[in-house]
Amino acid sequence: MKTNIIVGSGIAGSVLARRLAEENNEQVLVVEKRKYIGGYCYDYRDENGILIHKHGPHIFRTESKKVWEFLSRFTDWEDYQHKVLTNVNGQFYPMPINLDTVNRFLGTNYTAENVDDYFNSHRTSPTEINCVKDVIESQIGSEFYHAFFEKYTEKQWGLPCEQLPPEIVARIPIRKNRDDRYFTHRYQALPKEGYTKMIQGILDHSNIHILLNTEYKTIKDSIDCKHIYYSGAIDEYYDYCYGKLPYRSVTFEFETYPIEQYQPVSVVNYPNNYDYTRITEFKHFYHIKTTNTVIAKEIPHADGDPSYPIPTNENKELYNKYAAIPNDNVTFIGRLGEYKYYSMDQIIEKMMEYEI
């Protein structure tokens, strides 16, 4: 029986591997260049017992019962409601923008019944929505745009907001109440023993075999495979024959402090000062009691492992050139393979519905 090859053991490759092994009773070889499974979802416990997300905070949420029930086969859950603060001029404000954000920032006393009065009087009315700046100012006005979004977005993407396509931000949530949860999805939790343990469970099948510390190109000529599912970068697969697709990369600077708590919540955004966009304090995720704490400062840049596709029209055109290369034996999946941003639940649902 010929083997399916899945390149990458992140969430996309792992879910698809399970389906091929379980539903089709087919052999699957998962090839992973890193020394661990899980891709950007990889996590581990440090010497303090704190579960560290090596590649930044991953908060699972979904509206899909199907996705939730699939993952629940492989993990128990830790109840967790994600909360984010934004540091503006040394003060913490809830994000997304809610009633407390407005009143604290403006020094006002708006209520749920009249807070729209502020935004209605400050929204811009561009004739066309052409960029991120247009999207945000047309919803919340220039004051909140400059204080909370402009510099954060530019740090994250490496481009002025006027050059970024509207789809990057879509709709800015504005809450008329004091709900300070970052997400309001029907299902929101963290895998009780972490993402790595959950993905181990997904890949635990007699038809699935895992090869770590291995670059796919070093073995591709030695395996007679049925089909290749490639979750790496599509331009890398084709040896950059049309040039490199631009990505944003992220470096995480980890720091340990001999204190119980560094910040009030797990994630604090820093839109205006410093090179980093946000700081994550991991012990908040699982309410761990320790005398030490670990934080990670998140610094975006242009070089390094690709993390976020940059969906400008020019970049999409370059991706389309790669996608048009005839190759019946390879399917490109995931954020890097499709040059498209997906949240975890979106890619899981897509892999669950994928025709195999």
- The CATH number of the domain where 349 resides is what? 3.40.50.720
Q: Do 110 and 222 reside in the same domain of the chain?
A: no
The structure's pTM equals 0.94
SS3 283: helix
pLDDT score, position 263: 97
Q: Do 144 and 214 reside in the same domain of the chain?
A: no
Digit-coded pLDDT (tens) for 155-189: 999 999 999 999 888 767 889 999 999 999 999 99
For residue 206, pLDDT beyond 90: yes
For the record, the structure tokens of 4 come out as 């399916």
Q: How far apart are the first and last CA of the chain?
A: 16
- From CA 149, how far away is CA 122, in angstroms rounded? 16
Q: Looking at the 3D structure of the chain, how many domains does it have?
A: 2
Taking the mean position of all CA atoms in its chain, how far away is CA 222? 34
- From CA 71, how far away is CA 66, in angstroms rounded? 9
For the record, the structure tokens of 49 come out as 């017992």
Q: What are phi and psi of 350, to 5 degrees?
A: -65, -45
For the record, the structure tokens of 127 come out as 């004739």
Q: Do 58 and 130 reside in the same domain of the chain?
A: no
- From CA 312, how far away is CA 236, in angstroms rounded? 19
Look over the chain and give the mean of its residue pLDDT values, rounded to a whole number.
Answer: 95
Digit-coded pLDDT (tens) for 101-138: 999 999 999 999 999 999 999 999 888 999 999 999 99
Digit-coded pLDDT (tens) for 70-96: 999 999 999 999 999 999 999 999 999
- From CA 278, how far away is CA 268, in angstroms rounded? 5
Taking the mean position of all CA atoms in its chain, how far away is CA 23? 28
Instruction: Name the pLDDT band for 1 (thresholds 50, 70, 90).
Output: low
Q: Do 193 and 140 reside in the same domain of the chain?
A: no
b/e burial code for range 36-64 (CB count within 10 A of at least 16 → b): ebbbbbbbeeeeeebbbbbbebbbbbbeb
Digit-coded pLDDT (tens) for 299-346: 999 988 999 999 889 999 999 999 999 998 999 999 999 999 899 999
For residue 55, pLDDT beyond 80: yes
pLDDT score, position 229: 97
pLDDT score, position 221: 84
Q: Do 190 and 158 reside in the same domain of the chain?
A: no
pLDDT mean over 18-42: 96
Domain membership of residue 191 (yes or no) is: yes
Longest CA span, the chain: 69
